[in-house]
Amino acid sequence: MTVTGPAPTSVTAELTEVADGVFAYTQPNGGWCLSNAGIVTGPEGVLLVDTAATERRARALADRITGLRAGPVRTLVNTHHHGDHTFGNGIFTPSATVIAHERTRQEMAETGLALTGLWPDVRWGDIQVVLPDVTFAHELTVHVGERRAELLHVGPAHSTNDVVVWLPRERVLFAGDVLMSACTPFLLFGSVTGALDAVARLRALRPRTVVCGHGPVTGPEILDATERYLRRIVEVAADAYPQGRPPLEAARAADWSEFAHLLDPERVVGNLHRAYAELAGVPAGAPLPVAAVLAEMIEYNGGRPLTCLA
């Protein structure tokens, strides 16, 4: 199915130095497909975290990296397989080595460019699926000069293959879509209980600065905010599922006022579908009927298409 929305806007992004030689590249407003990236500089080049959704946005990211005069992108980490974080890989390869979780490679290959079919009005450009060169199962350390970057698999949460990039000396966390700042979390492809486990694990790192997969740079308070939302999902599902009330009905009936400020609230329907599946014993990350769930999200949104400004 397609969920066509408004025409794409011009490329706007903010580059913020969050530690010495470490940058957050954020794309307002952080909604569907407007993902963030991370830039970690070293004496011989750059480690890049994620690559944006469209060709023009990936090229804009590349231009900003060039402007830093820090050398070429030598290492590229994909935090998970979704196209809004990986479609720009080809702009930085083959000179950059792409690293991701082993399931990221598998799911990128299986999914291909399917995301483009949801929003056909977006100017995707000349994009292609560029699979990771190096994969790992649990943890991997990348050295950027004297700087240590720890790659940690914390999924299933937003997806089955979520990886965060943790800089222990700087206490900077690039969280991918496990955490979203000012945006509604989205667990349709992952796990609600897994996301709660991931939040607990990230809290134990005691980050000072958090660069989420979408939305503004934040601090450790995003962990508390995300946990409150996830626990509300668990609470609503635990009440409605035994009564046989469908997720859409439960979403409409529940009080979400605490989270009214979050972008893309229609994701609550997908989150409840995942919570229901877990209550039914479906394994975390197991495929759900995506097209049907997206249709219900549009219905929850008053029949309005899901807004993608990529």
Q: What is the pLDDT along the chain (310 residues), one digit of tens a residue?
A: 666 555 455 678 999 999 999 999 999 999 999 999 999 999 999 999 999 999 999 999 999 999 999 999 999 999 999 999 999 999 999 999 999 999 999 999 999 999 999 999 999 999 999 999 999 999 999 999 999 999 999 999 999 999 999 999 999 999 999 999 999 999 999 999 999 999 999 999 999 999 999 999 999 999 999 999 999 999 999 999 999 999 999 999 999 999 999 999 999 999 999 999 999 999 999 999 999 999 999 999 999 999 999 9
pLDDT of residue 4: 54
Question: Residue 16 pairs with which residues in a beta bridge?
Answer: 24
pLDDT of residue 5: 55
pLDDT of residue 3: 65
E runs forming strands in the chain: 14-19, 22-26, 37-42, 45-49, 73-77, 97-101, 134-136, 139-144, 147-153, 163-167, 172-176, 209-212
Q: What is the CA radius of gyration of the chain?
A: 18
At 41, give phi and psi (nearest 5°): -95, 150
Q: Is 19 exposed, middle or buried (0-12, 13-18, 19+ CB in 10 A)?
A: middle
* CA separation for the pair 58, 151 (Å, rounded): 22
In-domain check, residue 292: no
In-domain check, residue 206: yes
Total residues belonging to the chain: 310
The candidate with the shortest Cα–Cα distance to 122, out of 268, 233, 258, 11, is 11
One DSSP character per residue, 227-285 reads HHHHHHHHHHHHHHGGGT--HHHHHHHS--GGGTTSB-TTHHHHHHHHHHHHHTTPPTT
pLDDT of residue 7: 46
Amino acid residing at 259:
F
In-domain check, residue 252: no
In-domain check, residue 176: yes
Structural domain count, the chain: 1
In-domain check, residue 290: no
**CB neighbours of residue 88 within 10 Å:** 30
In-domain check, residue 278: no
* CA separation for the pair 124, 57 (Å, rounded): 9
178: domain range?
14-220
Question: Which residues have a Cβ under 8 Å from the Cβ of 189 and sit 6 or more positions away?
Answer: 82, 158, 159, 160, 285
In-domain check, residue 236: no
pLDDT of residue 254: 98
Q: What is the CATH number of the domain that holds 54?
A: 3.60.15.10
